[in-house]
Amino acid sequence: MAITGTSSFSVNFSPVFRRDVTSASGNLKRNLDLKRFAVSSEQASTSSSTTTKTKKFVENGRMWKNSREESETARGVNVEESEERERNGKGLKNYFDEAKDMIRSDAGPPRWFSPLESGSHTHDSPLLLFLPGIDGVGLGLTMQHQRLGQIFDIWCLHIPVEDRTSFADLVKLVERTVRSENHRLPNRPIYLVGESLGACIALAVSAHVPDVDLVLILANPGSLDAWVYKGKSLTDALSSATSFSKSQLQPLIPILKLLPDQIPFSLQYILRLMEGDPLRMAADNLVKGLAPEPTFGKLSQDLLTMSSYLSVVADILPKDTLLWKLEMLRLASAYANSRLHAVKAETLILSSGRDQLLPSQEEGEKLRLALPKCQNRRFDDSGHFLFLEDGVDLVTVIKGAGFYRRGKYIDYVSDYMPPTPSEFKKIQESNRWIYLATGPVLLSTLEDGKIVRGLAGIPSEGPVLYVSYHMLLGLELYPLVSQFMIESNIVLRGIAHPIAFKRLKDGKLPELSTFDPFRMMGAVPVSATNFYKLLSSKSHVLLYPGGMREALHRKGEEYKLFWPERSEFVRMAARFGAKIVPFGAVGEDDIGQVVFDYDDLMKIPYFRAGIDEISNEVVKLRIDASGEVSNQDIHLPGILPKVPGRFYFYFGKPIETEGRKRELRDKVKCHELYLEVKSEVENCIAYLKEKRENDPYRNLLPRLIYQATHGSTSEVPTFEL
């Protein structure tokens, strides 16, 4: 990549990519490592179009990385190596090295720079403006640049150590940039990612430009209550601030009080006074970056890195700069809090549970309740400087929360990004108990009608529509979707209930974060538009016509289909020539038995009121339908658990609709095919219920014994086919 200029922009110049010709910028230009930070004014408009080879996308319903390599999931690539590539191999040492380069000959006003690692985004990627915390360096995303740069055009704000630009002027700088870029690309959102002080700037800018499409991602935003120390000395303020009352830094307060103002104040001296666990905690929160629970070796390595860069820490936040930043944060918090009513932007709050500087989780919840379009994600084991911790991947967080879009509204088809191997591994690990408990068996039907174990009979090219019965509580979803990824590298795009995407009001339903893995694995909210887009993009689509009614069935209704009378999915499938694959899923009755169902709950006034309250928290479906399928009340039946049995899936022979579009416009013909699909699902269920009786490994104990003797990854046999 040719480099013809630095990506730094003076506060006095247009925020659009232009060369900064001021002497201050020139100093920065000479001292920056141009292999790490660079982009030219000419390059800004063209670099994205020349790097589309790194884009990850879904084609014909299958997951592909790029033209240089096959899907790592399909090839069984070492996930640790893949994760290291995704993170670009960066760690705590890189932050210090790059910060040292940035401040070596630092002068001039605040300015933007763009990391070279972020040069692989596509031409339609949205702009991401990173607003730093009290350090001001602008390198808070250094461990995130590689992945973020694939889907965003990243600009980072750098505030020189000696700069004393006021909070109001910083807000004006960012606001000018936002307005300029919005004028250039009015149909594209602009992301403001800020931590602590930067989060306050983002909130203030959002309040000033309600007409601009902004998405705010705020990590541990500042607290007004936590930083009010007007009329007190800094040390007295630290002693009384809410966020420091439980801090590991608390033992340092008496020492700081004993230091007269004439003695140079430096974080270097503070960190050297600390030993053991307090040092690790202080390092995690003040100098950005240890993993939540590192191994002893990793901890020793990072502590050694810290000790080598104590002078860099001191240079980033000398006493005068620290005092200035703390006073600015106090004013910024007050300013942002007073204007929360004007913030209309979509907002994602990231709150750390072990933040020793701010009461982040408490403040995150306050903001969630105060802002109209706000969600909160908690990181219980993380410290204040969230983005520099090994276990935090901002791209994964954005994808899981459903916050990535390239237009005015999210497109659940074109904006979707499949999970990477490391993301898929984490989802697997968190749900491994379901897989172990159910020991899923998947069967499919070849073209000649032969039934085989595995997914060899599944069409490899989309569009394909999979239709089935929905088990109790949807317990079959994880093993089903995961096995498609593992065996066939196919992303099943499930048509899901709105409960996984949106709340009409706060209440008793699980937090939206509970459903992040579903969104990561491809779930989309049910709608005719999304169904149309999925089939038109040749996706593999998973549909349960019985929906909530089947998943929350009554006593004695196991494996009973509650399908609507209308056969619209057949007509839609025929429009795109999609193959329809009916399949059966069996095993819920080997996991638990419903002993207290909806009918029982509705007889008790307390539970009836609770069901009405919960059901009103989400959008209601099928309000125009008739019969049992129209009953979409949300409730949790009483279930008596059993020693786990086994889940079985049997995919029937695909039904072709190619070339039948005109024929299936006839309502009678369409309904006949609809009934045929329904009958095939019932036949598949009946087949599995009969055959599982001859499975010697139907129960959990025989499967555990088999895997203990043959290896934990060995495939457990099943009944004869």
102 plus 152 within the same structural domain? yes
549 plus 624 within the same structural domain? yes
Residue 134, pLDDT score: 84
Reply yes or no on whether the pLDDT at 41 is more than 60. no
Which has the minimum average pLDDT: 190-204, 297-311, 620-634? 297-311
- The answer to whether position 364 is within a domain reads yes
Reply yes or no on whether the pLDDT at 287 is more than 80. no
Summarize the chain as % helix, strand, coil (round to 5): 45, 15, 40
* CB neighbourhood size of 249 (10 A): 18
Which has the minimum average pLDDT: 189-198, 500-509, 556-565, 669-678? 500-509
Residue 350, beta-bridge partner list: 219, 377
266 plus 290 within the same structural domain? yes
- The answer to whether position 719 is within a domain reads no
464 plus 567 within the same structural domain? yes
HEC profile for 559-585?
CCCCCCCCCHHHHHHHHCCCEEEEEEE
Residue 48, pLDDT score: 36
- The answer to whether position 36 is within a domain reads no
Q: How far apart are CA 692 and CA 706, in angstroms?
A: 18
> What percent of the chain has a predicted confidence (pLDDT) above 70?
74
Q: How far apart are CA 717 and CA 325, in angstroms?
A: 64
207 plus 126 within the same structural domain? yes
> How far are the Cα atoms of 130, 206, 219, 331, 374 from residue 216, in angstroms, in the given order?
10, 8, 10, 20, 9
Query: Which residues touch 701 (CB under 8 Å, ≥6 apart)?
Result: 643
Q: How far apart are CA 390 and CA 603, in angstroms?
A: 51
Residue 317, pLDDT score: 76
Residue 348, beta-bridge partner list: 217, 375
- Give one DSSP letter per residue of 598-638, joined into a string: HHHHHTSHHHHHHHHHHHTTS----TT--SGGG-------E
Single residue among 345, 377, 410 that ends a domain in this structure: 410
Q: How far apart are CA 580 and CA 584, in angstroms?
A: 13
Domain count, the chain: 2
Q: How far apart are CA 51 and CA 120, in angstroms?
A: 5
458 plus 568 within the same structural domain? yes
Triad 492, 498, 503: Cα angle to 5°: 140
443 plus 375 within the same structural domain? no
Which has the minimum average pLDDT: 25-29, 286-290, 382-386, 602-606? 25-29
156 plus 256 within the same structural domain? yes
Single residue among 410, 443, 462 that ends a domain in this structure: 410
pLDDT band for 120, please (50, 70, 90 cuts): confident
pLDDT tens-digit map of 415-425: 999 999 999 99
Residue 233, pLDDT score: 42
* CB neighbourhood size of 21 (10 A): 10
pLDDT averaged over every residue in the chain: 78
Question: Which helix (H) or strand (E) element contains residue 193?
Answer: strand 190-195
pLDDT tens-digit map of 595-647: 999 999 999 999 999 999 999 988 888 777 767 777 788 999 999 999 999 99
- The answer to whether position 15 is within a domain reads no
Average pLDDT over residues 390-406: 93
698 plus 567 within the same structural domain? yes
What is the residue range of 286's domain? 88-227+240-410
> How far are the Cα atoms of 45, 275, 357, 374 from residue 252, in angstroms, in the given order?
50, 12, 13, 36
Token output for 261:
């103002």
398 plus 476 within the same structural domain? no
Single residue among 410, 435, 468 that ends a domain in this structure: 410
Q: Are strands 9-10 and 111-113 parallel, antiparallel or unpaired?
A: antiparallel
Coil, strand or helix: which one is 378?
A: strand
Residue 487, pLDDT score: 93
Which has the minimum average pLDDT: 93-102, 263-272, 311-320, 401-410? 263-272
Contact 330, 295 (CB under 8 A): no
130 plus 254 within the same structural domain? yes
Average pLDDT over residues 269-282: 39
Q: How far apart are CA 496 and CA 551, in angstroms?
A: 12
The phi and psi torsions of 377 (rounded to 5 degrees) equal -125, 130
Residue 83, pLDDT score: 52
Reply yes or no on whether the pLDDT at 482 is more than 90. yes
- The answer to whether position 610 is within a domain reads yes
Q: How far apart are CA 503 and CA 284, in angstroms?
A: 35
Model's pTM, two decimal places? 0.81
Residue 295, pLDDT score: 44
Residue tagged 């002993």 (tokens): 595
The domain that holds 317 is classified in CATH as: 3.40.50.1820
Q: How far apart are CA 289 and CA 56, in angstroms?
A: 28
482 plus 563 within the same structural domain? yes
Q: How far apart are CA 683 and CA 602, in angstroms?
A: 33
Contact 630, 623 (CB under 8 A): yes
- The answer to whether position 234 is within a domain reads no
- The answer to whether position 290 is within a domain reads yes
pLDDT tens-digit map of 404-413: 999 999 999 9
- Of 580, 190, 192, the residue nearest 348 (C-alpha): 192
pLDDT band for 528, please (50, 70, 90 cuts): very high
Q: How far apart are CA 205 and CA 222, in angstroms?
A: 15
- The answer to whether position 484 is within a domain reads yes
